[in-house]
Structure 1
Amino acid sequence: MSTLEIKDLKVSVSTDDGPKEILKGVTLTIKDGETHAIMGPNGSGKSTLAYSIAGHPKYDITGGSVTLDGQDVLAMSVDERARAGLFLAMQYPVEVPGVSVTNFMRTAKTAIDGEAPKLRTWVKDVNAAMSRMNLDSTFTQRSVNEGFSGGEKKRHEIAQLELLDPKVAILDETDSGLDIDALKVVSEGVNRFRGGEGKGVLLITHYTRILRYIQPDFVHVFVDGKIAEQGGAELADQLEAEGYDKYLTAKV
């Protein structure tokens, strides 16, 4: 059993005018086998939640707690969070010139597992993961994300997800910039992951199209740093039909 529990999380960032509160008390529990979708307008705090859980230094935790299987996530360093079982797929994956995909992946796997994977088996696993994401095996010799298209970067992130095999995957707008073919491939990869035992998914998105391929168990509407409403998969259909206007009007 794996459980990511977020309680009354409050997060601020520093600005020229002083601290600005972004998250204003978010409570959310993701149990194993559950997929939670977070939707909301731009600037509502969705990505802030993802990066705060992952440990980005830009975000200052001013209140609340985050635990994974009872362990205090906020007390962990970024690498400790990864070893504990958290994974973040970024909206804008960064390029790492001079570091090959194969070296990057093996180093990450070694750091998380505490021992290096057997080379012969590992090469087969990497090539298989890349193939499932429609990435040629030559990608493993290229620098991480350097010269990759937007879709290739996102597919590479899901290959990482499959190989590193965390407990909880936090996917920050993984569908952003994908054409329909890449969206299907990425969705299939996420579905393979969440079909495993003890896996949870927190999927952040603006649009419902990815939810046609990755069926969420719960949908949460983020507005102004808080959860304004939550429900089942049908809530996403309602948002597509009606938009966020009623929540924004209620905020005013």
Structure 2
Amino acid sequence: MSTLEIRDLHVSVDTESGPKEILRGVDLAVKSGETHAIMGPNGSGKSTLAYSIAGHPKYQITKGTVTLDGQDILAMTVDERARAGLFLAMQYPVEVAGVSVSNFLRTAKTAIDGKAPALRTWVKDVNGAMERLGMGTDFGSRSVNEGFSGGEKKRHEIVQLEVLDPKFAILDETDSGLDIDALKVVSDGVNRFHDKGGKGVLLITHYTRILRYIKPDYVHVFVDGRVAEEGGPELAEKLEAEGYAAYVATAKAGA
């Protein structure tokens, strides 16, 4: 049993007018086998949480802790966080011209495991993952994300998730820009990862449509850099019916 634990996390970013606090004291714990959905309006701090956990240099941790099985994640470099078992699927995956998908995946797997994967089983694993995500085997020869459609970029993120096999997956708006067919394929990939056992998922989304395919154990409503409410899957249904307006109004009244 592993636990990703966030306690009283405060995060700021530099702006032209000085530091601006985005996260204002976040408490959250994700255990192996659990799926947590973070929902909230634009600008509420959802993506800031994801990138802060992953170690993006833009975000400055001013207070609080993030631990993985008791280890201080914030003291680790980005690559050390990956080797400890964290994975971030980005909302806007970047293009890496001249680096093939196959070389990228093998280099990443080698860096995380500390040794190169056996070639025979590796090719089988990668081709299998691509096939399950509806991608041809020629996909591996293309440059990372270069010329990819939005759906291809998101499918590639889930291929990475399958072959790198982390302890915890942080998925930043993986449903963004996907049509219904691609959404089902990507959701199936996330569910396969979770169903391996001992895997935790932190799913960030605006909308409930992906939660029709990926069933959360817990739902957290983010507003103004804080968790405004927590509950089970029924909370997502409430948000679908009522939206975020009441939470936003309460946050403004308390500001």
Match of 2:227 in 1: 227
CA distance in 1, matches of 2:159, 2:209: 21
Runs of 5+ in structure 2 lacking a partner? none
In structure 1, the partner of 2:111 is: 111
CA distance in 2, matches of 1:168, 1:222: 20
1:57 corresponds to: 57
Structure 2 distance, partners of 1:171, 1:251, is 26
C-alpha separation in 2, matches of 1:164 and 1:30: 20
AA partner of residue 161 (structure 2) = L
Q: What TM-score does the superposition give when structure 1 sets the normalisation length?
A: 0.99
In the alignment, the residues of structure 1 paired with residue 112 and residue 69 of structure 2 have an alpha-carbon distance, to the nearest angstrom, of: 17
Aligned to 1:81: 81
Partner in structure 2 of residue 126 of structure 1: 126
Amino acid at match of 1:210: I
Q: 2-side partners of 1:108 and 1:2: how far apart?
A: 22
Shift, 1:98, TM fit: 0.2
C-alpha distance in 2 between matches for 1:156 and 1:135: 9
* Distance (Å, rounded) in 1 between the aligned partners of 2:122 and 2:33: 27
Cα distance in 1 between the residues matched to 2:79 and 2:166: 13
CA distance in 2, matches of 1:145, 1:250: 41
TM-score with structure 2 setting the length = 0.98
Q: Give the superposition deviation at 1:197.
A: 2.1
Higher mean alpha-carbon deviation, 195-204 vs 55-64, is at 195-204
Aligned residues: 252
- Tell me the SS of whatever aligns to 1:105: helix
CA distance in 2, matches of 1:16, 1:157: 33
Identity level (%): 79
1:28 matched to 2:28? The reply is: yes
Q: Which residue of structure 1 aligns with residue 216 of structure 2?
A: 216
Superposed CA offset, 1:58-86 (max 9, x none): 00000000000110000000000000000
Counterpart-to-counterpart distance in 1, 2:206 and 2:16: 29
Specify the alignment match of 2:185 in structure 1.
185
Match of 1:166 in 2: 166
Looking at structure 1, the residues matched to 14 and 116 of structure 2 have their Cα atoms a distance apart, in angstroms, of: 39
What is the 5 A alignment of 1:141-152? 141-152=141-152
Q: Which amino acid aligns with 2:134?
A: N
Deviation at 1:114, TM superposition (A): 0.5
Shift of 1:251: 1.5
Cα RMSD over matched residues? 0.5
C-alpha distance in 2, partners of 1:205/1:172? 7
Measure, in 2, the Cα distance between the counterparts of 1:37 and 1:251. 20
> Which whole-Å CA distance do the structure 2 matches of 1:179 and 1:37 have between them?
20
C-alpha distance after superposition, 1:91-139 (max 9, x if no partner): 0011100000000000000000000001111111110000000001101
- Tell me, in whole angstroms, the C-alpha distance in 1 between the residues paired with 2:244 and 2:109: 40
- Deviation per residue, 1:33-77 (Å, 9 max, x gap): 000000000000000000000000000000000000110000000
Gaps of 5+ in 1: none
Describe the SS at the equivalent of 1:56.
coil
Q: Report SS of the residue matched to 2:146.
A: coil
